[in-house]
Amino acid sequence: MYKRFGKVSRVIGLMMESKGPKSSIGDLCYIHEQSGCRKIPAEVVGFHEQHVLLMPFSAMSHIAPGCLVEATGRPLEVHVGDALIGMVLDPLGQPLDGSPLPPGLKPVSVERDPPNPLVRPPIVEPLEVGIRVIDSLLAVGKGQRVGIFAGSGVGKSTLMGMIARHTSADVNVIALIGERGREVREFLERDLGPDGLARSVVVVATSDQPALMRVKGAYTATAIAEYFRDQGADVMLMMDSVTRVAMAQREIGLAVGEPPTTKGYTPSVFALLPKLLERAGTNASGTITAFYTVLVDGDDMNEPIADAVRGILDGHFVLERQLANKGHYPAINVLKSVSRVMPHMISAEHREAANRFRRLLSTYIDSEDLIQIGAYKRGSSQEIDEAIEFYPQMMAFCRQNIDEKTTRAESIDALLRLLSVR
């Protein structure tokens, strides 16, 4: 088999230019170091006149003009299979602890198209996540895609760990993108725990890695989830965070020469988001239920990435700092959160109870200032009187300890019992 080679001509910032080899956008290439001891993987991200623009997956040390660039003629592939369950991988699909991959895995491309919308079965079956406030008031369906919107330090990772440990999904695929190195082990040991890891595949791309590695971490995790879905499994895909994927793509876009647009994000960022997020969901074989965390800058829910992601997904949970500051966990603001598929999956009795819970909570929040300063006189409004009576029980219902698990049936039963009390 013939191999195509080119030569490095110059390096500019994050980018590398080479004369040749013949290749296409997205192809994987290998750059041979001067010593010949190591090959650095890189991806073709553009062209400039007759030159190929490459972005390496690792540091560009020991690269000099004239280094050989070897084309593979295909995009990045990772090896997947059931033996990956319980392992922690890097964005290239290799074990993070340096051990060899288990035998019997199948190579798949990380670049795939979303399923045809006409062959996607509708979402009709709920997925249990083991968190009372979600299962009862924000029910998630198998194949639904949900955003978890929050500022820093409000409990996103803790919520993800609870979902991973308590969910009824067959397998979890967790992508930690742009995390601090210290937080990776903390998440694995404290939030996920041995029981959660035993049924999960974790893909890690830390913040110190090149932008391309962070983007590929998201694609690799999605490709692994797609493999298990194609085997007929109900997969839980969790990505923390899609904001850092967008930031990494912005770095790549600016390096290639794209014009910055909204808040410095390049057009390719807003092209990448639907392409990546639409790959989750249902197909003829199985389901991928996806949770994507979104970092909101200064708790601004309308910043560009949050706004774009919210328009693509099938629902969103808003974690509020005020609730977290009061020690209320999970800090989900029920009134600002929505599950777009919930009304189609639940019974009429459940739907009425959830709507009544929201009405009572909304009534209390709207009148809270008057109630707190003592300006409201009991008996002035029957609705407000009822909201005041139920408020402590509603807040207690929404709180849940990290290690506490409630089944979906228990959560719904608790909601119905709560609202039947007079």
| Distant-in-sequence contacts of 355-364, Cβ < 8 A, 24+ apart | 356/419, 357/137, 357/394, 357/415, 357/418, 357/419, 358/137, 358/334, 360/386, 360/387, 360/390, 360/391, 360/394, 361/334, 361/335, 361/387, 361/391, 361/394, 362/335, 363/387, 364/388, 364/390, 364/391
Token pair, residue 110, equals: 């990380």
Q: What is the pLDDT of residue 265?
A: 92
Domains and CATH numbers, the chain: 5-75 (2.40.10.170), 78-343 (3.40.50.12240), 348-420 (1.20.1270.330)
Q: For residue 61, which phi and psi values (nearest 5 degrees)?
A: -65, 150
Tell me, rounded to whole angstroms, the distance of Cα 307 from its chain centroid.
15
Residue in this structure with the two tokens 């919520």, named with its chain if needed: 159
Q: How far is CA 295 from CA 69, 150, 291, 304, 380, in A?
A: 38, 6, 13, 11, 42
Element (H, E) at 78: strand 77-80
Contact of 189 with 200, CB cutoff 8 Å: no
For 13-76, strand residue ranges (E) read: 15-19, 28-32, 39-48, 51-56, 68-71
Name the strand (E) or helix (H) holding 272.
helix 267-277
The CA distance from 351 to 353, in Å, is 5
Q: CA gyration radius for the chain? A: 24
Query: Which is nearest to 322 in space by CA: 340, 336, 305?
Result: 336
Distance of CA 357 to the CA centre of its chain: 29
User: What pLDDT does 14 receive?
Assistant: 80
- Those residues of the chain that have pLDDT short of 70 are 1, 298-300, 421-422
Round to whole Å and give the CA distance between 235 and 168. Answer: 10
| pLDDT for res 299 | 63
pTM: 0.92
